[in-house]
Amino acid sequence: MALETILLAVGPNDKDRIDELADTVTDIAGPAGSEVIVAHVFTDEEYENVVDRLEFESVAEANPDQVADRHTTVRELLKRLGEADLQTSVRGAVGNHGEQIVSLAESVGADLVVVGGRKRSPTGKAVFGSTAQEVMLSAPCPVTFVRGED
- State whether residue 127 is helix, strand or coil: helix
Higher pLDDT, residue 49 or 119: 49
Q: Supply the pLDDT for residue 1.
A: 63
CA distances from 146 to 5, 57, 61, 66 (A): 18, 35, 34, 25
pLDDT in tens, 43-61: 999 998 888 888 888 777 8
pLDDT in tens, 58-111: 777 889 999 999 999 999 999 999 999 999 999 999 999 999 999 999 999 999
Q: Supply the pLDDT for residue 9.
A: 96
Write down how long the chain is: 150
Please state the three-class secondary structure of 61-124 as a single string.
CCCHHHHHHCCHHHHHHHHHHHHCCCEEEEEEEECCHHHHHHHHHHHHCCCEEEEEECCCCHHH
Q: Are 15 and 72 in contact (CB under 8 A)?
A: yes
pLDDT in tens, 7-43: 999 987 888 889 999 999 999 999 999 999 999 999 9
pLDDT at 137 over 50: yes
Whole-model pTM: value is: 0.90
Phi, psi of 88 (to 5 degrees): -130, 160
Helices and strands (H and E) in the chain: how many: 7, 5
In terms of Cα–Cα distance, which of 57, 62, 32, 29 is closest to 47? 62
pLDDT at 123 over 60: no
pLDDT at 128 over 80: no
